[in-house]
């Protein structure tokens, strides 16, 4: 059967996301959007690069995947190595890992919300692109911009104080962490918490006022039923470091609960498409591509019973009153991201006030006791899995990474198609359409260097292609 003729619009790359990519929008003969695809066109290499490396190098190598979220890879990689050593970190070592992971969540969520998305929310998607950036925010709402700088700095400082530097710190190692916490550093972090909480709560209050202006967008920004997945603790509350996977469907029913992440290959499939280097992960029971699910802040607040910290739980209750128990629109990633941030700051304080947080026992030592290890944690963008196989000398033979952006790939594609169908009304490319297609991708805050391990960046290009593949229109940014 002959495929139906289509036109195609290409957006290449998407700006204000972590990394760069391309979108094609396919038009049918009537000029209506038939489909859309989110292309990640860079080569992915880390799973091959690490073959032949000793496992004690793995956390440091894997942290190089991303300059935004190196800690997330440190955590997942070290946990996979823990399994290979057959050790558990001492409780204080695990808590210090948690603190650094939560600091990572805070700084990355702050980057996404304040620096990348707040310009759209403050000025609207139709505003002058020259104004829709952090400098524009600084002029129009300096408190919001200061809060963004302050909250991100809060997270980065914790990482730097614990790990010696903001980007690619060491600290998290197989077996625990490499140094105990000093009382001075603990008190230093504690002294910054009140302002971080205040700034985040100001941002939440501002967002709740702002949300009413975006009702139409919320209804078209990836508004479709899907499952959601995230880690929860024994009580079913959010856990960014450990626990069990919980999967909830669009009606709020549990598809799975208390799943051991180590069995991920039993229930998660990874599909490969010829038009992208980014794998599409799917829930095996529902098959590909129907097994679509979302991860990240929105999924975390949906699958959890509660956040588990007082201020965040108050906000979660209001979130559920405002947008429902299982909101279907990806626009609400922004709201969820703020609650996730608030919870993380509260949790850092709780952990720092723990009675044993200054214990010198922070690392377990062992040799290779297993030939396979799987580590899982919640990264800012969602569930992150590292899976290694080693020989008896601890030399890596095989590695597989399942990255949050891969979990969300099917949802991102569907979201782009939905936005395109709503806003693309002709074969001519327009700036508002372009902005919204990009913005829906930003809801997921995809990390393309994580998901594909890219080198370099691509310029922004939008192409409209006719049924015969000829370029009808083109935009570059």
Partner 1 sequence: MSSGVLVVGYGNPLRTDDGIGPMAAQRLADDPRLEGATVLTAHQLLPELALDVSRAALAVLIDVRADAPPASVAIESVEPAPAGDNGTAWSHHLTPTALGSLALELYGAAPEMVVVSIGAASLEVGDRPSAELEAALPRIVDAVVGVVQGRTRARIVEPSHA
With binding defined as CB under 8 A, does residue 305 bind partner 1? no
Q: Given the complex with partner 1, which of 149 and 271 has the nearer CB atom?
A: 149
Using CA atoms, how far apart are residues 237 and 231, in angstroms rounded to an integer? 8
Out of 148, 230, 243, 446, the residue judged to bind partner 1 by CB under 8 A: 148
Residue 409 tokens read as: 């790939």
Using CA atoms, how far apart are residues 477 and 475, in angstroms rounded to an integer? 7
Q: Given the complex with partner 1, which of 274 and 456 has the nearer CB atom?
A: 456
Q: How many CA atoms lie within 13 A of 313 on its CB side?
A: 10
Q: Given the complex with partner 1, which of 48 and 253 has the nearer CB atom?
A: 48
Using CA atoms, how far apart are residues 4 and 330, in angstroms rounded to an integer? 30
With binding defined as CB under 8 A, does residue 15 bind partner 1? yes
With binding defined as CB under 8 A, does residue 135 bind partner 1? yes
Using CA atoms, how far apart are residues 193 and 350, in angstroms rounded to an integer? 11
Q: Given the complex with partner 1, which of 17 and 403 has the nearer CB atom?
A: 17
Out of 3, 30, 130, 212, the residue judged to bind partner 1 by CB under 8 A: 130
Using CA atoms, how far apart are residues 259 and 208, in angstroms rounded to an integer? 34
Report the Cα 106 to chain-centroid distance in Å.
Answer: 12
With binding defined as CB under 8 A, does residue 455 bind partner 1? yes
With binding defined as CB under 8 A, does residue 45 bind partner 1? no
Q: Which stretch binds partner 1 (CB under 8 A): 62-70, 228-236, 285-293, 408-416?
A: 62-70
What is the distance in angstroms between the CA of the first residue and the CA of the last residue of the chain?
Answer: 38
Q: Given the complex with partner 1, which of 18 and 120 has the nearer CB atom?
A: 18
Q: Given the complex with partner 1, which of 67 and 252 has the nearer CB atom?
A: 67
Q: Which stretch binds partner 1 (CB under 8 A): 140-148, 220-228, 272-280, 344-352?
A: 140-148
One symbol per residue from 66 to 95: x for binding partner 1 (CB under 8 A), - otherwise; what is it? Answer: -xx---------------------------
- Residue 418 near residue 328 (C-beta atoms within 8 A): no
Using CA atoms, how far apart are residues 464 and 11, in angstroms rounded to an integer? 9
Q: Which stretch binds partner 1 (CB under 8 A): 53-61, 126-134, 187-195, 417-425?
A: 126-134
Out of 41, 46, 127, 153, the residue judged to bind partner 1 by CB under 8 A: 153
Which whole-number Å values give the CA distances from 298 to 85, 166, 267, 397, in the listed order? Answer: 34, 26, 21, 35
DSSP 161-215: HHHSSSSS---EETTEESSPPPHHHHHHHHHHHHHHHHHHHHHHHHHHHHHGGGH
Q: Which stretch binds partner 1 (CB under 8 A): 88-96, 159-167, 342-350, 446-454?
A: 159-167
Total residues interacting with partner 1, rule: CB under 8 A: 33
Using CA atoms, how far apart are residues 231 and 229, in angstroms rounded to an integer? 7
Out of 4, 31, 54, 139, the residue judged to bind partner 1 by CB under 8 A: 139
With binding defined as CB under 8 A, does residue 167 bind partner 1? yes
One symbol per residue from 353 to 382: x for binding partner 1 (CB under 8 A), - otherwise; what is it? Answer: ------------------------------
Using CA atoms, how far apart are residues 77 and 57, in angstroms rounded to an integer? 10
Q: How many CA atoms lie within 13 A of 167 on its CB side?
A: 5
With binding defined as CB under 8 A, does residue 156 bind partner 1? yes
**Contact residues: partner 1, CB under 8 A:** 15-18, 64, 67-68, 111, 115-116, 129-131, 133-136, 138-139, 142, 145-146, 148-150, 152-153, 156, 165-167, 455, 477
């Amino acid at each position: 059967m002959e495929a139906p003729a289509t036109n195609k619009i290409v957006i290449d790359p998407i700006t204000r996301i972590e990394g760069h990519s391309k979108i094609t929008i396919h038009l049918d003969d009537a000029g209506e959007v038939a489909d859309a695809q989110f292309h990640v066109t860079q080569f992915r290499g880390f799973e091959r690069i690490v073959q032949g490396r000793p496992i004690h190098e793995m956390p440091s190598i894997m942290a190089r995947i991303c300059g935004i979220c190196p800690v997330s890879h440190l955590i997942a990689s070290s946990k996979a190595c823990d399994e290979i050593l057959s050790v558990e970190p001492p409780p204080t070592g695990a808590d210090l890992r948690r603190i650094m992971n939560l600091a990572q969540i805070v700084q990355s969520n702050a980057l996404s919300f304040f620096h990348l998305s707040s310009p759209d929310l403050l000025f609207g998607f139709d505003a002058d692109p020259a104004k829709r950036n952090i400098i524009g925010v600084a002029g129009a709402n300096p408190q919001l911009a200061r809060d963004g700088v302050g909250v991100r700095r809060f997270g980065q400082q914790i990482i730097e104080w614990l790990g010696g530097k903001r980007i690619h710190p060491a600290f998290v190692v197989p077996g625990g962490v490499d140094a105990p916490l000093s009382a001075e550093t603990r008190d230093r972090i504690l002294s910054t918490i009140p302002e971080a909480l205040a700034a985040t709560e100001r941002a939440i209050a501002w967002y709740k006022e702002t949300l009413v202006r975006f009702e139409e967008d919320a209804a078209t920004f990836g508004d479709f039923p899907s499952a959601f997945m995230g880690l929860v603790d024994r009580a079913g509350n959010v856990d960014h470091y450990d626990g069990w996977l919980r999967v909830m469907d669009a009606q709020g029913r549990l598809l799975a609960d208390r799943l051991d992440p180590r069995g991920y290959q039993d229930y998660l499939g990874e599909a490969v498409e010829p038009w992208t280097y980014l794998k599409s992960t799917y829930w095996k029971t529902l098959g590909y591509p129907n097994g679509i699910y979302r991860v990240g802040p929105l999924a975390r607040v949906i699958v959890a019973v509660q956040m588990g910290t007082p201020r965040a739980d108050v906000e979660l209750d209001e979130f559920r009153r405002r947008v429902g128990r299982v909101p279907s629109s990806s626009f609400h990633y922004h709201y969820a991201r703020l609650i996730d941030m608030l919870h993380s700051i509260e949790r850092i304080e709780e952990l720092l006030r723990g009675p044993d947080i200054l214990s010198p026992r922070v690392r377990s030592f062992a040799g290779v006791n297993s030939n396979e290890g799987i580590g899982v944690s919640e990264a800012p963008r969602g569930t992150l899995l590292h899976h290694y196989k080693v020989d008896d000398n601890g030399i890596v033979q095989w590695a597989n990474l399942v990255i949050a952006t891969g979990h969300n790939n099917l949802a991102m594609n569907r979201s782009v198609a939905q936005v395109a169908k709503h806003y693309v009304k002709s074969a001519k490319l327009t700036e508002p359409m372009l902005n919204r297609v990009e913005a829906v991708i930003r809801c997921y805050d995809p990390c393309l260097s994580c998901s594909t391990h890219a080198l370099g960046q691509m310029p922004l290009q939008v192409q409209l292609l006719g049924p015969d593949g000829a370029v009808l229109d083109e935009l570059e940014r």
